[in-house]
Amino acid sequence: MKTLNLKLTGLSAKVRPIIKVDGEILQAKKNDFGSFEASLQTEKTAVEIEIARENELLAKFWWLYALISFLVSIFGIFEPPYDRKCIVIDYKTVVQLGEGNSELTIKFNNLSSSGRACEIETSCQIEEVANEYRVDKKAKTRWRIILAVKILFWIAAAILIGILISKKA
């Protein structure tokens, strides 16, 4: 039985990564220092690791979630802001496991709209398939739609309040 100890460091507090090993989601625990750690036991000699960042604007019913959270948060006053940069992590690698325990440390760079996402420290042989930060255009467009709707709502609310006040005077 081979063991892979995976550690993700350098992620900001807002980023919650999704780690998939051979297509299955691997649960990682956050330690006291803000790093994510996970351990995987397998009989395979090589595993494919994929790390992504979930963005709720890419979900199937994104508009429904946005509407409900807007209403529940008292018309957006207490709503946490969406990530306006809409940066996604695209990282995929194949790791050749050694006998016994294998250590893999992935150090993430600062979020940027382009460039390498992370650097790898391991004694295993790896083959990177993808390693980049990129702006998701679909999420960015949906963020702009939500922002425009919120602005139009507040303008309409201000006009309605103005009309109601002028009728009472």
Q: For 125-165, what is each residue's pLDDT tens digit?
A: 889 999 998 889 999 999 999 999 999 999 999 999 999 99
Q: In the prediction, which pLDDT does 155 show?
A: 96
The residues near 156 (Cβ < 8 Å, ≥ 6 apart) are none
Q: In the prediction, which pLDDT does 33 show?
A: 83
Label residue 71 left, alpha or beta by phi (over 0 means left) and psi (-120 to 50 means alpha): alpha
What 3-state DSSP class applies to 148? helix
DSSP 8-state secondary structure symbol assigned to residue 14: T
The alpha carbon of residue 153 and the mean position of all alpha carbons in its chain are separated, in whole angstroms, by: 28
Q: In the prediction, which pLDDT does 157 show?
A: 93
DSSP 8-state secondary structure symbol assigned to residue 26: E
Indicate whether 12 pLDDT > 80.
no
Q: In the prediction, which pLDDT does 165 show?
A: 93
Indicate whether 13 pLDDT > 80.
no
Rounded mean pLDDT, 99-112: 86
Question: Distance between CA atoms of 21 and 49, rounded to whole angstroms?
Answer: 5
Of the candidates 5, 55, 12, the one whose C-alpha atom is nearest the C-alpha of residue 35 is 12
Domain count, the chain: 1
Q: In the prediction, which pLDDT does 143 show?
A: 93
pTM of the model as a whole: 0.77
Rounded mean pLDDT, 57-79: 89
Q: In the prediction, which pLDDT does 23 show?
A: 87
Residue range(s) defining the domain that contains residue 106: 2-168
Residue 163 token pair: 């009309």
